[in-house]
């Protein structure tokens, strides 16, 4: 609220001084820059924004005369953001300044926020931006996608060192997995789907084995599109059929038909959930509920009297191809991570609503495969892994301001499938390398 008052104060200065960037109105205002000054300032701004790889709206430039504020709780954020950008704005407190503003744009051309540049004696002495997602704070230009206002996590990523890992030998290493569970013996099981065939893997005695491989003939001639463990070792499978010529299809070439159910021995139970349309793409379990992606909606189902019924539905405007439901920060509340192949989205429940609290704002084909989360440095904040369209993993970490990509130690074509394979409370992972998954290795955390 204090930051909002400060921004309102700047806006009032701008309004009452009558300062605009249109030279035609120069006679009506008390403060104006000549054309040469304006072009010089814009060139300096352009150089700075390009150095941070920011797009901006050239038609949105505006300026006004103001005084650099004093450092206080209400202005702390702008000084800290300016310092991160390489400017010591605090040194100029109380000085007269020209303040330039310009709208910043994401890669997808959506507005990201408004950048502020403080000029003293024709030099930039402070710069930051106010995000459209959170107008009550200020950010440095390295912080690109920020959490929506009021977003907090119980734990954030720290600089704590990664857990020690050992490489173990195993055959039958899965090339990723979309769901996991713990069986009655305490061993982990995983589901993967390749070309419509569903495979169940088990990790036991430090090695993977295949428990069941169900091809299309095992699922009444249909093909598996998505699957999830629920209620222990039971499995719900989203089935689809081959799209006919000219038929629209958003999930490869498969048209969603129904959900079928497998019992603990991986045989069909005979129970089916017929779908209302062909736009379903994912099924995920959240405790005793099933979550289905239906076009741009998340439908939540509960089992009542032997039938699955819709309890609620959330509109996300995301045609998700991958969906992870997981507690990212250890507070006991699960977040939803979705991707439509173009962007990564983070959702959180807020009472009866489901809110998008972060997204990548790319809007071009960028991601593929499943989404994973695991705490590889044991700081109680999970890292998020998803592969880009080159087949290389992107690691996102939870910061105070938003999810941040940290890929310094990830090489081209490296992919990471993270989970607690041996169920000891520590995150393990599969590292896959090569465009054709030519190399896969299992890494198990060494207990501290």
**pLDDT value of residue 244:** 67
Output the 3-class SS for 32-62. Answer: CCCHHHHHHHHHHHHHHHHHCCCEECHHHCE
CB 229 within 8 A of CB 191: yes
pLDDT 10s digit of each residue in the chain, 448 long? Answer: 444 444 443 443 333 333 444 444 443 346 899 999 999 999 999 999 999 999 999 999 999 999 999 999 999 999 999 999 999 999 999 999 999 999 999 999 999 999 999 999 999 999 999 999 999 999 999 999 999 999 999 999 999 999 999 999 999 999 999 999 999 999 999 999 999 999 999 999 999 999 999 987 566 678 999 999 999 999 999 999 887 655 544 445 689 999 999 999 999 999 999 999 999 999 999 989 999 999 999 999 999 998 999 999 999 999 999 999 999 999 999 999 999 999 999 999 988 899 999 999 999 999 999 999 999 999 999 999 999 999 999 999 999 999 999 999 999 999 999 999 999 999 999 999 987 667 999 999 998 7
Residues 6+ positions from 68 with CB-CB distance below 8 Å: 89, 92, 93, 94, 95, 97, 118, 120, 125, 126
Residue that has been written with the tokens 């990564």 in this structure: 344
Query: Of the candidates 127, 129, 119, 140, which has an alpha carbon nearest to the alpha carbon of residue 40?
Result: 119
The answer to whether 425 and 417 are in contact (CB under 8 A) is: no
Residue that is written with structure tokens 């299809």 in the block: 249
Other Cβ atoms closer than 10 A to 159: 6
Cα gap 70→384, rounded to integer Å: 39
Beta pairing, strands 289-294 & 280-286 = antiparallel
Nearest residue to 347 via CA among 403, 389, 388 = 403
pTM tops 0.85, yes or no:
yes
pLDDT of residue 30: 64
Instruction: For Cα atoms 310, 313, 314, give the angle at the middle one, nearest 5 degrees.
Output: 165
Question: What domains does the chain contain, in order, with CATH numbers?
Answer: 35-139 (no CATH), 165-244+251-445 (2.130.10.10)
CA 356 remoteness from chain centre: 10
User: Are 258 and 290 contacting, i.e. CB atoms less than 8 angstroms apart?
Assistant: no
**Which secondary-structure segment (H or E) carries 125?**
strand 123-131
Give the SS3 label for residue 368: strand
């Amino acid at each position: 609220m204090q930051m909002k008052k400060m921004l309102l104060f700047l806006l009032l200065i701008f309004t009452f001084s009558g300062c605009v960037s249109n030279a035609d109105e120069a006679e009506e205002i008390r403060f104006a820059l000549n054309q040469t000054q304006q072009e010089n300032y814009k060139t300096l701004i352009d150089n700075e924004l390009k150095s941070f790889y920011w797009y901006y709206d050239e038609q949105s430039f505006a300026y006004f005369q103001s005084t650099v504020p004093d450092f206080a709780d209400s202005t702390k954020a702008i000084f800290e953001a300016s310092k991160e950008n390489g400017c010591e704005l605090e040194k100029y407190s109380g000085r007269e300044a020209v303040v330039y503003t310009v709208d910043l744009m994401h890669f997808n051309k959506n507005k990201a926020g408004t950048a502020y540049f403080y000029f003293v004696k024709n030099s930039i002495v402070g710069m930051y931006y106010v995000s459209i997602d959170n107008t009550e704070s200020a950010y440095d230009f390295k912080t690109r996608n920020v959490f929506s206002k009021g977003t907090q996590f119980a734990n954030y990523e720290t600089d704590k060192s990664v857990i020690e890992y050992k490489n173990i030998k195993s055959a039958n290493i899965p090339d990723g997995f979309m769901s996991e569970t713990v069986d009655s013996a305490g061993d982990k099981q995983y589901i993967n789907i390749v070309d419509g065939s569903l495979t169940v893997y088990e990790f036991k005695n430090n090695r993977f084995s295949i428990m069941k491989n169900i091809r299309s003939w095992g699922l009444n001639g249909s093909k598996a599109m998505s699957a999830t463990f629920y209620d222990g070792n039971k499995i719900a499978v989203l089935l689809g059929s081959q799209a006919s010529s000219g038929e629209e299809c958003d999930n490869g070439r498969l048209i969603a038909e129904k959900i079928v159910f497998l019992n603990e021995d991986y045989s069909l139970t005979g129970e089916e959930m017929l779908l209302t349309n062909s736009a379903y793409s994912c099924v995920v379990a959240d405790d005793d509920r099933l979550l289905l992606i239906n076009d741009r909606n998340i439908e939540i189902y509960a089992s009542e009297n032997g039938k699955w019924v819709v309890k609620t539905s959330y509109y996300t405007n995301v045609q998700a191809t991958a969906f992870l439901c997981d507690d990212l920060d250890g507070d006991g509340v699960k977040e939803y991570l979705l991707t439509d192949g173009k962007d990564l989205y983070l959702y959180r429940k807020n009472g009866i609503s489901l809110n998008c609290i972060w997204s990548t704002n790319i809007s071009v084909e960028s991601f593929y495969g499943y989404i994973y989360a695991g705490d590889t440095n044991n700081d109680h904040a999970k890292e998020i892994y998803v592969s880009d369209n080159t087949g290389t993993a992107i690691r996102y970490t939870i910061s105070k301001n938003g999810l941040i990509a940290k890929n310094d130690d990830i090489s081209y074509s490296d992919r990471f499938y993270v989970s607690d394979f041996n169920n000891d409370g520590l995150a393990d992972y599969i590292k896959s390398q090569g465009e054709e998954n030519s190399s896969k290795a299992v890494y198990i955390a060494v207990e501290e």
